[in-house]
Amino acid sequence: MNTEYYKIKGEHYHDTEIIDRAAQIIQNGGLVAIPTETVYGLAGSALIPSSAEKIYSAKGRPADNPLIVHIAKPEEAEHLAYTNETYYRLAERFMPGPLTIILPKRGIIPDEVTAGLDSVAIRCPSNEIAHKLIEVSGHPIAAPSANRSGIPSPTKAEHVLTDMDGRIDMIIDGGECDIGLESTVVKITDDGCIILRPGAVTEEMLAEVCDNVTVARAVIEPAVAAEEKVESPGMKYKHYSPKAEVILVDAAGEEFVEYVNAISDSSCGVFTSAEERHCYKTATTLITGEHINARDESKSLFRLLRKADEMGLSKVYIKLPEAKGEYLALYNRLIRASGGKIVKP
Ligand code: AMP
Ligand code: MG
């Protein structure tokens, strides 16, 4: 298959010809990779069963891992799912944005989209290209991350091209994704909500509008995620893994630097801020940003894991972040990328 590639830049996101072409592909049951504020998504109509099947096949995604359905406005969920008061309270505060809410599904959503579950994951993206495509196509859009299953999610169109060229109809390049990690996924419970996957909308932010916010154990415990019965099927798979071995080191600043410097091998990489780059003697430095902060470290994670492979590095050392606040999402992706291994010097 020939994959069409178009670039939409900055203010020209409403470049109507490209969006019209993409909308036509969606309506005809084809697939288009699109930028969102989290990561690039592989978009197909959520109303056409064969579109979902094409998504699973292009990604090599396990058939029991359901897709997130993207809508342009929170109230569009009414046709697709059974909403409630908590949904609207969360939607009012966090939509459009990086929050996905699991709701009981209506019959209009094919089983292929939800992997046979009786619930559906709903998100309303803020990225203008994603938003426009949903509006113009007139379809709710099923869109998992646009990577081959198991490897780091794409945060730039080049990543999508590497993984999906020849497998899908079109790629829209809208520049680098703002957030770089996938959306927060929550399930509404009788008295609040539970975080099934952490993201840029944190536990603390959710607690401002929702009582009894809890975090699923599988978020921070890979062993739990590996069990058969998990709330969110996607959590049981090894994920986000580059070819290089990811080594998480549970050590404070100086101790981490010493640990990495004791390994004199330039085929090893280390994640660092530009500011602290000079601390490392032999390891190849991969720069997360100017200074250490959750935003830059989250945004650069998948790009740098892919870069480590492009550079042919055998191992990458990453300091284990705290499993809380705005670092919880990063922690969650890192323990999956490393297969749950943590080194304590
Ligand atoms: P991705 O599309 O690759 O960002 O992954 C979507 C995530 O949402 C996976 O972890 C899925 O298991 C989860 N998910 C999607 N639909 C549901 C659902 N109906 N119930 C629980 N988790 C879901
Ligand atoms: Mg994914």
Query: In terms of Cα–Cα distance, which of 243, 233, 244, 125 is closest to 179?
Result: 125
For residue 45, how many C-alpha atoms fall within 13 Å in the half-sphere facing its CB?
A: 20
Ligand 1 test: best mutation among 37, 38, 102, most atoms within 8 Å of CB? 102
- Residues 95-113 have a mean pLDDT of 98
Distance CA 154, CA 177 (A): 9
Locus of tokens 């280390």: 270
CA of 185 to the centre of ligand 1 (A): 7
Whether 198 has a pLDDT exceeding 50, the answer reads yes
pLDDT at 228: 45
Please give all residues whose beta carbon lies within 6 A of any atom in ligand 1, as ranges: 65-68, 102, 114, 117, 119-121, 144-145, 182, 185, 196-197, 232-235
Q: What is the number of residues in the chain?
A: 345
Distance 145 CA to ligand 2 centre (A): 4
- What pLDDT does residue 266 have? 83
Nearest-CA residue for atom 10 of ligand 1: 234
Question: Looking at 10-24, 62-76, 185-199, 329-343, which range is the least confident one?
Answer: 10-24
Q: Please indicate whether residue 337 or residue 238 has the higher confidence score (pLDDT).
A: 337
CA of 69 to the centre of ligand 1 (A): 10
- pLDDT at site 232: 66
Stretch 47-60: mean pLDDT: 97
Q: Report yes or no: 52 and 121 within 8 Å, Cβ to Cβ.
A: no
- Work out the average pLDDT over 28-53: 98
Least confidently predicted of 67-71, 229-233, 253-257: 229-233
Q: Which atom of ligand 1 is closest in space to residue 231's alpha carbon?
A: 21
What pLDDT sits at residue 226?
54
| Ligand sitting nearest the alpha carbon of 240 | 2
**pLDDT score for 13:** 58
Pocket test for ligand 1, best of 113, 232, 332, 333 (most atoms within 8 A of CB): 232
The pLDDT assigned to 264 comes to 75
pLDDT value at 171 more than 80: yes
Average pLDDT, the chain: 94
Per-residue DSSP letters for 129-184?
HHHHHHHHH-S-EE--BSS-TTSPPPSSHHHHHHHHTTTSSEEEE--S-SS-SPPE
Q: How far is CA 35 from CA 2, 6, 177, in A?
A: 20, 12, 7
Which atom of ligand 1 is the closest one to the Cα of 153?
A: 3
Residue 341: what pLDDT?
83
What's the rounded mean pLDDT across residues 91-108?
Answer: 98
- Residue in 110, 39, 96, 104 with CA at minimum distance from that of residue 78: 104
